[in-house]
A and B are shown apart, each in its own frame.
Chain A
Amino acid sequence: MKKIITILAFCLASILHAVEDPLAFRNDSALVAEDVSFSHFSVFLEGGEIYPMGDLMDAVKNALYGGVGIHYTYWKDVDGVVMFQYTYFKPRPKIYYDGVHQFMGRVGADWKWKAIHPVVLGGGFTCSWTRADADEINYAKPGGTLTDNETEFGWYARISLPVFKYKEYSAGFHVMWEQLWTLPKSSNMLYAGLTFERSIW
């Protein structure tokens, strides 16, 4: 009977949202003991070139990018990834300013699938924050929407190939496809570049 009362109470509590704790999983001692997250941690620098794809090829020129990131253990063969990058896009059509600052933040995961070692597959969500390099805010002109802060989310898929390893250092190539959920059409870009990584623990 105690079990029934407990479960009923739980159902009721869930309905009322009275004691809902979205972080309740931290109280599961067995789960905490099994948790391998952050058992390894590394930082990386990377840079390369962005190639606009599809319709976006008519909008902006290729651009260089660079940034920093971290890798942390999430599961045994899966790393969590957080990236921050910067680029400066120059418009192809005649716009009344030189270019646009873009900051990118990404959260995702890298799967170190043994069958294709050392290739690593990754994917996740991306958020790009943009602001035109303009002194004048003129919303009505072409490019005007970017004179205010504009943000858009999207997703990315990535292949990394670390070809060089020495002690706690590694280096390699990466190729990444990114899609921002813009309108009237989505914006697709291909990234290609180099990664230098150092394991911290």
Chain B
Amino acid sequence: MNSLFNKIIAVFAVSASALWATVDPEMEGMDVVSRDDGTFLIGSPTYYFDRKLGSGGINSESELWTPRKLRYRLLFNRMSVLPSWDPIQAPSVWMKTGNELGDLIYQDFITDVGNRPTNRTPILEVGVRTPLFHGFWATFRLFQDDHYCFYSGDKYRSKVVDDNFAFFGENWPMFSSAYGGLGYTNDFINASLLAGMEYIWLFTESSRWIPVRYKPRVEARADVGDFSATLVFENAEFQNFKKKETGERKEVNGSVVYNCGENCKRGMLQLSAGLAFRFVNDDGTVYTGLENDRVLWPFLEMRFKPMDQLKFDVVFGVNDRDWLVQDSVEYQLPVLEKMNVTFGAKNISGTRLNPIADTHEYFDGDTISLTASGRMNLLQGYIRFEDSLTNFLGFGLRGSFWAEHGAETFDVEKFVDDGIYTFRHGDVGRINSWIKGVTGEFWLKLWYKEMLNFTALTGFERIDGKEKRFEVNPSEFFVSFSADWLIKKTFRISHSLRYRSDAEWNLRSRDPYVVKGDWYWDATFEQRFPKWGLSLAGTIVQALGDEVIEIPNGDFSRLRFFCTAKKAF
């Protein structure tokens, strides 16, 4: 029995090590830039397509609502970590700054004015969280990411707003956020109240970037025992300076949830339940709409685990407009325990991937419906095994078959051009035929004490069906090599070298937009000072690959470097 435990521990330790082998993201929630396990296309910090190969279906992860994302930000119809209002947990002070590489500096003197490269743009973050004082703490954070912004800012977006639309600079960044607040933490309660202001550009189904100024945004959170509550007030100001349009949305949203606690998790049946809600009041020109100005979304999470090797998981939500079920079953074969062979199946069915999002977009006299009649069904079966060959080498593979009917898509009626952008009219619709896919992934892991964790990972996917033009045809192949080195336990090098094959956007431009396959290399170098609770890190992102626009109407994904300093109190 001990050997079984050791084996399982070894496998999970290896799995966990893969999570540590990560390049620092430039902002919380931008981990997708350095993801190497599927199709990850970034148009801006506030809009990306993120689909893990093998996840099944044709939609991206951020389009799907799950209870795990209750405290994510709703950016139009996607759930996003960024701009994160999660208070940093460690009492500390931190600063981050960086820039896209490739400014001219003295090359200006020997370069014709007409041949100048586009301006390169920075990121900035500063923040502090105080130590506890009788359980109370305070925090402040200012963060702004000017990457993926200059070309479209200069050519188009600057004309849509009446100012720089940021706390700093004149690059028209895709978001700029600042907040401060107080909290209280003890063994039983963790509560916070934050208030701030935010500039953000939301990417919509019409392919427009809509500027929204949250002035103010207030977020209160309380975790008391097994209960969590979140309440947010947003005064969102909309504008189109070019068209002399202004509008305002007052919104209250949040959630109340009972989480299955420690005692509950020991049981055979584990239940969590909650309610997510949004109430809006629109005035003037607001470019999106929510039917009945409200959405109430009660949901239930259940895990049934009759034995160690077998578990059923269900997430179910329903209201007067939509329903969504996400369920799965997983069984680990006891007869092949040394190989950790797992069979699993999952199903996602529902009327809408994100039932709490707005229901309409308004665009030049057209009302774009963001809901489609009927429902989608995604079924997937998979087999996975993982084994450690020795105490420093492990490998695994996962194969799956999936089929989806009624996949959400966009029925384009027509395209219109405006400056550098192409917009689209139409409605969210469904692909009412079966789309089928087969996937395979193989990984090899190598580790040595705490010093090295290395993963080589490759995957392929073949998608077939009557309809072949989805919003995004994902990459069919990837290979990646990532490693975490921890030298003398105080110097970390994390890096990821990877290749992704072509991906294709079909519905946001008249002709398909191919994002060519390419190699990428990202790396983080970190000095750690345990005695002083100090960390100094430098990260280079998007090296090797060509600098391209990865999403129609998006902006260039450029090679960039940033450094981070963090000091614990």
Contacts and interface: CB of A to CB of B under 8 A. Distances in A.
Contacts of B135: none
A4 B535 contact: no
B257 to A, nearest CB: 14
A182 B561 CA distance: 12
Given A28-B530, A153-B101, A56 B5 contact: no
A187 B561 CA distance: 16
Interface stretch (B106-114, B271-279, B326-334, B476-484): B106-114
Interface stretch (A12-20, A41-49, A163-171): A12-20
A197 B15 CA distance: 48
Contacts of B528: 25
B106 A100 contact: yes
Interface in B89-131: 89-90, 92, 98-99, 101-111, 113, 115-117, 119-120, 122
A59 B529 CA distance: 41
B307 interface: no
Contacts of B568: 23, 26
B538 A125 contact: yes
Contact of B99 (A52, A151, A183): A151
A60 B68 CA distance: 56
A132 B174 CA distance: 28
A181 B541 CA distance: 13
A10 B14 CA distance: 12
A107 B533 CA distance: 18
A38 B490 CA distance: 13
B105 A11 contact: no
A146 B107 CA distance: 10
B122 A183 contact: no
Interface residues of B, number: 53
Chain A's interface size range is 35 or more
B16 A56 contact: no
Nearest to A82: B536
Interface in A144-201: 144-146, 150-153, 180-185, 187
Contacts of A152: 99, 101-103, 105, 120
Nearest to B104: A145
A184 B117 contact: yes
Nearest to A150: B103
A11 B11 CA distance: 11
Contacts of B98: 153
A38 B16 contact: no
A55 B111 CA distance: 11
Contacts of A145: 103-104, 108, 116, 119
A93 interface: yes
B68 A16 contact: yes
B20 interface: yes
B488 interface: yes
B8 interface: yes
A183 B536 contact: no
Contacts of B113: 140-142, 144
Interface string B65-83: 0001000000000000100
Given A23-B535, A35-B530, A35-B531, A95 B566 contact: no
A65 B89 CA distance: 42
User: Chain B CB within 10 Å — which of A1, A100, A181 has the most?
Assistant: A181
Nearest to A189: B106
Contacts of A75: 488, 490
Contact of B107 (A34, A38, A80, A183): A183
B335 interface: no
Contact of B104 (A16, A58, A95, A150): A150
B468 interface: no
Contacts of B89: 19-21
B5 A3 contact: yes
Contact of B105 (A3, A20, A146): A146
20 contacts: A4-B8, A11-B15, A11-B19, A16-B68, A26-B533, A35-B531, A37-B531, A37-B532, A38-B529, A58-B110, A74-B527, A125-B561, A127-B563, A130-B105, A142-B109, A145-B104, A145-B108, A146-B106, A152-B105, A187-B106
Interface of B: 5, 8-9, 12-13, 15-16, 19-20, 28, 68, 81, 89-90, 92, 98-99, 101-111, 113, 115-117, 119-120, 122, 488-490, 527-533, 535-536, 538, 559, 561, 563, 566, 568
CB-based closest 6 A-B pairs:
A183-B102, A26-B533, A35-B531, A181-B101, A59-B109, A14-B19
